[in-house]
Structure 1
Amino acid sequence: MRIVMSGASGFIGTALSGHLLARGHDVVRLVRRPAADPGEASWDPAAGRLDEAVLDGADAVINLSGAGIGDRRWTKERIREIKDSRLMATKTLTAAMGRLDTPPSTFLSQSASGYYGGSRTTQLREDSGAGKGMLAALCVDWEAAAHTAPAGVRVVTPRTGVVLSADGGALGPLLPLLKWGVGGPLGNGRQYWPWISLVDEVAALEHLLVSSIEGPVNVCAPESADVNAIVAQLAAAFHRPAFLRVPAPALKLALGAHLAEELVLANQRMEPARLADSGFTWEHPALADAARWVVGNSK
Structure 2
Amino acid sequence: MQILITGGTGLIGSHLVPRLLETGHEVTLVTRDPDKARGHFDPRVVLWKGLNEHENLDGFDAVINLAGEPIADKRWTEGQKQRLCVSRWQITERLVEMFKAGSTPPSVLISGSAAGYYGDLGEVVVTEEEPPHNEFTHKLCARWEQIACGAQSDNTRVCLLRTGVVLAPKGGILAKLLPIFRLGLGGPIGSGRQYLAWIHIDDMVNGILWLLNNDLRGPFNMVSPYPVRNEQFSHALGHALHRPAFMRAPATAVKLMMGESSVLVLGGQRALPKRLEESGFGFRYFDLEEALADVVR
TM category, shorter: over 0.9
| Cα separation, 2, equivalents of 1:290 and 1:15 | 16
Correspondence for 2:272: 271
C-alpha RMSD of the superposition: 1.5
The one-letter amino acid of 2:150's match is: T
Secondary structure at the aligned position of 2:146 is classed as helix
| Cα separation, 2, equivalents of 1:213 and 1:129 | 21
1:47-98 per-residue CA deviation (whole Å, 9 max, x = no partner) reads xx25135x22111000001001000111111110000010001010010111
Please list, as runs of the form range in 1=range in 2, the aligned pairs for 1:132-281 lying within 5 A after superposition.
132-152=134-154, 153-256=156-259, 258-261=260-263, 263-281=264-282
* Corresponding position: 1:56 with 2:58: yes
| Cα separation, 2, equivalents of 1:172 and 1:34 | 25
| Cα separation, 1, equivalents of 2:152 and 2:221 | 24
The one-letter amino acid of 1:96's match is: M
The one-letter amino acid of 1:131's match is: H
Q: Is the 8 A contact 1:235 1:241 kept in 2?
A: yes
Secondary structure at the aligned position of 1:5 is classed as strand
| Cα separation, 1, equivalents of 2:185 and 2:169 | 17
Secondary structure at the aligned position of 1:155 is classed as strand
Question: In the TM superposition, what is the alpha-carbon distance from 1:232 to its structure 2 partner?
Answer: 0.7
Distance change in 2, residues 1:229/1:103 (3 Å): same
Scaled by the length of structure 2, the TM-score of the pair is 0.93
Stretches of structure 2 that go unaligned for 5 or more consecutive residues are: none
Stretches of structure 1 that go unaligned for 5 or more consecutive residues are: none
Question: In the TM superposition, what is the alpha-carbon distance from 1:34 to its structure 2 partner?
Answer: 5.9
Q: Is the 8 A contact 1:111 1:157 kept in 2?
A: yes
| Cα separation, 2, equivalents of 1:181 and 1:249 | 22
Question: In the TM superposition, what is the alpha-carbon distance from 1:230 to its structure 2 partner?
Answer: 0.9
Correspondence for 1:10: 10
Higher mean alpha-carbon deviation, 74-83 vs 170-179, is at: 170-179
The one-letter amino acid of 2:135's match is: G
Correspondence for 2:106: 104
The one-letter amino acid of 1:5's match is: I
Correspondence for 1:129: 131
The one-letter amino acid of 1:178's match is: F
Count of matched residue pairs? 289
| Cα separation, 2, equivalents of 1:16 and 1:251 | 33
The one-letter amino acid of 1:181's match is: G
Please list, as runs of the form range in 1=range in 2, the aligned pairs for 1:31-50 lying within 5 A after superposition.
31-33=31-33, 39-44=46-51, 49-50=52-53
Question: In the TM superposition, what is the alpha-carbon distance from 1:223 to its structure 2 partner?
Answer: 1.1
| Cα separation, 1, equivalents of 2:53 and 2:8 | 16
| Cα separation, 2, equivalents of 1:12 and 1:265 | 24
Q: Is the 8 A contact 1:113 1:159 kept in 2?
A: yes
| Cα separation, 1, equivalents of 2:291 and 2:32 | 34
| Cα separation, 1, equivalents of 2:234 and 2:47 | 39
Distance change in 2, residues 1:166/1:34 (3 Å): closer
Poorly superposed stretches of 4+, deviation over 3 Å: 33-38
| Cα separation, 2, equivalents of 1:190 and 1:178 | 19
Question: In the TM superposition, what is the alpha-carbon distance from 1:33 to its structure 2 partner?
Answer: 4.4
Q: Is the 8 A contact 2:204 2:222 kept in 1?
A: yes
Q: Is the 8 A contact 2:184 2:245 kept in 1?
A: yes
1:204-238 per-residue CA deviation (whole Å, 9 max, x = no partner) reads 11111111221100010011211111111111111
Question: In the TM superposition, what is the alpha-carbon distance from 1:115 to its structure 2 partner?
Answer: 0.5
| Cα separation, 1, equivalents of 2:64 and 2:211 | 11
Correspondence for 2:120: 118
* Corresponding position: 1:88 with 2:68: no
Secondary structure at the aligned position of 1:111 is classed as strand
Report percent identity of matched pairs.
39
